[in-house]
Chains A and B, each alone.
Chain A
Amino acid sequence: MSVRTLKGKRRWLALGGCLIWLAFTFFPLYWVLITSFKTPIAVVGGPTYLPFVDFEPSLTAWSELLSGQRGEFFNTFLASTIIGLSAAVAATGIGAMAAYALVRFTFRFRLLSALIFVAIAFGGFLLGRHVFGFGQGISLIYAFVAALVLAVISSRFPLPGPELGNNDIVFWFVSQRMFPPIVAAFALYLMYTEMGKLGFKLVDSYIGLTFAYIAFSLPIVIWLMRDFFEALPVEVEEAAMVDNVPSWRIFFGIVLPMSKPGLIATFMITLAFVWNEFLFALFLTNSKWQTLPILVAGQNSQRGDEWWAISAAALVAIIPMMVMAGLLSRLMRSGLLLGAIK
């Protein structure tokens, strides 16, 4: 028994507070669940609360939904699942690699190289666009490649100015999360349209949306996985290095298996983020690769207040994440995630 355990009256007060919060948390979820089993007449007739007691449950909404009368639910569900899983896997993988590199290897470069990158990206874009008269897509590609190459070359030389290290790179990655997504979503939409003119179809495509989601999940993946890798004992890796095991085998053969709990937790957080994401899907898709949040949001404006159908639609978007939360909590209880969330 910990010293911090409450006793007597306070304990019951705390319990009361928790129960009120529990009711507040659960009531909306309960409401959407029972509404999806109501008939249209039962919904319009005013609120009813208990199935079999004050209304007869019916499967109208669900059969309508599954038979495709409410839009392409099956395809959208599939699109959401494919995009969610692949973006979460890719982001977790790429992010874990970067996080590991930032924890175990030394990176040093001058602030000036970073400034060169930004300056050339801006200047090259403007130059290509307004002086040479290239299209936006082409000028962007040229400017990006030129900026990257010159920045990397410049980092080989002893430049003056302050030196940046691993922590600055981490800060830069994480600070990308501060960026209002509307800035990126809108510009990405225009960039994708430009790329479409060059022959790469990115708007409303699998690659376009997945790529955007990977980029926007990476900051959080790197943040979480860095904390996780830092907590791993370095001795195992040192022992492997003494035996001349190459670094990539240390990472894939030793470090990754050791960090399975952290990877699973990060993967699930990323998946939930991508699954529920609205703004990017709104801008970057229009029909084929539309995701569930867009379809669900559209239910209300298309049909008006048909709550039985809207509830079923909302549940399709909610249930997979609830199942995942169940799995996650079982993992947590089994102690697999100890240390994953610091």
Chain B
Amino acid sequence: MTRNDPIKHFFIWPALIIVLLISIFPLVYSLTTSFMSMRLVPPTPSRFVGFGNYLDLLQNPRFWHVAGTTTLIAFISVGLQYVIGLSVALALNSRVPGEGIFRVSFLLPMLVAPVAVALIARQVLNPTMGPLNELMTALGFANLPFLTQTSWALGSIIAVEVWQWTPFVILMLLAGLQTLPDDVYEAAALENATPWQQFRDITFPMLLPISVAVVFIRLIESYKIIDTVFVMTGGGPGISTETLTLFAYQEGFKKFNLGYTSALSFLFLIVITVIGLVYLAVLKPYLEKHK
């Protein structure tokens, strides 16, 4: 039951004002600037160009390339995070030996600064001084260009994302698994359901709501990726691993092309919103079916 008391304003306004200030300004500012041609270096007077910036961007192959790269990284890494995270969470939930130690140590990567993770990855993947290439050579493979060839560089970034964020998926799914009631499994055991049947017909459907939420959060967050890429490849080789945020950073902070950057960030916001809505719309029937 909620109650009414004038003091509620005192409780909510500090948070409301701060978030309004920080969220409404960027919104107002970027949206108005995105319809203008505006540069700081060299300083040019701003003028209204309507949808000019948006059209420029949509015709720029680099934008499509960058959006595609970001989507690729986000979807593959979140997919892997979910599969690995679910397997590990299931194992931990069924009390593998040493579960207590695993539980704590599996969470560590989540707390490491992404910048530091990227630097560690650069060392491990280094062609001459890194351990991974030595292992590859020992196993008879050629020295692999982990960060200097497009497909390997993308793979490396995805591997780093998986390393860092699978713990989040494990944490959330484990919490979800622990809330599932035992009696369903007891009934299934009486019916002699195989472990696979139990997983397919009980665990997975009952875990679906939290799975959807976890994947949603990770997907949105993955689209914002910049620090890992910034340090690991700088968007290279060429622009082949550049992500949306990195592209916006280059345009905004290196070229100070304000109108263009604002339009870009709005397109970015639209892309994220559309993906989020499509994702939720696609999954809604399944969620309702299992309710």
Contacts and interface: CB of A to CB of B under 8 A. Distances in A.
A305 B123 CA distance: 8
Contacts, number: 309
B261 A186 contact: yes
Contacts of B117: 28
A6 B123 contact: no
A199 interface: no
A282 B182 CA distance: 49
Given A4-B93, A107-B12, A187 B25 contact: yes
A105 B25 contact: no
Interface centre among A117, A118, A148 (most CB of B within 10 A): A148
A84 to B, nearest CB: 11
Nearest to A49: B131
B7 interface: yes
B22 A105 contact: no
Interface stretch (B52-60, B106-114, B150-158, B281-289): B106-114
Interface stretch (A8-16, A57-65, A69-77): A8-16
B192 interface: no
Contact of A121 (B24, B94, B231): B24
> Secondary structure at chain A's binding surface: helix, strand, loop or mixed?
helix
A249 B85 CA distance: 43
B91 A18 contact: yes
Contacts of A25: 105-106, 108-109, 163, 167
Contacts of A333: 100
A214 B242 CA distance: 29
A182 B182 contact: no
Contacts of A176: 19, 23
B194 to A, nearest CB: 11
Nearest to A140: B25
A19 B260 CA distance: 49
B273 interface: yes
B75 interface: no
Contacts of A17: 87-88, 91
Contact of B223 (A43, A180, A314): A180
B224 A181 contact: yes
Interface in A256-309: 272, 275-276, 278-279, 282-283, 292-294, 296-297, 299-300, 305, 307
A278 B114 contact: yes
A121 B224 contact: no
Given A47-B130, A166-B2, A144 B21 contact: yes
B47 to A, nearest CB: 11
Given A18-B88, A21-B84, A26-B105, A184 B22 contact: yes
Given A97-B11, A318-B112, A311 B25 contact: no
A134 interface: no
A118 B31 CA distance: 12
B78 interface: no
A227 to B, nearest CB: 11
Interface centre among A35, A129, A296, A297 (most CB of B within 10 A): A297
A101 B87 CA distance: 39
B14 A97 contact: yes
Contact of B2 (A24, A104, A214): A104
Nearest to B2: A106
B283 to A, nearest CB: 17
A212 B18 CA distance: 9
Contact of B265 (A182, A251, A278): A182
B96 A28 contact: no
B15 A218 contact: yes
Contacts of A15: 91, 96-98
A3 B116 CA distance: 42
A171 B93 CA distance: 31
A14 B15 contact: no
B145 interface: no
B245 interface: yes
A143 B29 CA distance: 12
A224 to B, nearest CB: 12
B124 A121 contact: no
A97 B17 CA distance: 13
14 contacts: A5-B95, A6-B94, A106-B3, A144-B20, A147-B24, A169-B12, A176-B23, A178-B273, A181-B245, A184-B26, A247-B7, A276-B111, A278-B226, A293-B115
The 8 nearest A-B residue pairs measured at CB: A187-B26, A215-B22, A101-B11, A98-B15, A105-B8, A278-B227, A14-B91, A314-B116
Given A98-B15, A341-B171, 9 more contacts: A11-B94, A31-B123, A47-B130, A176-B19, A183-B269, A187-B30, A251-B11, A317-B115, A317-B116
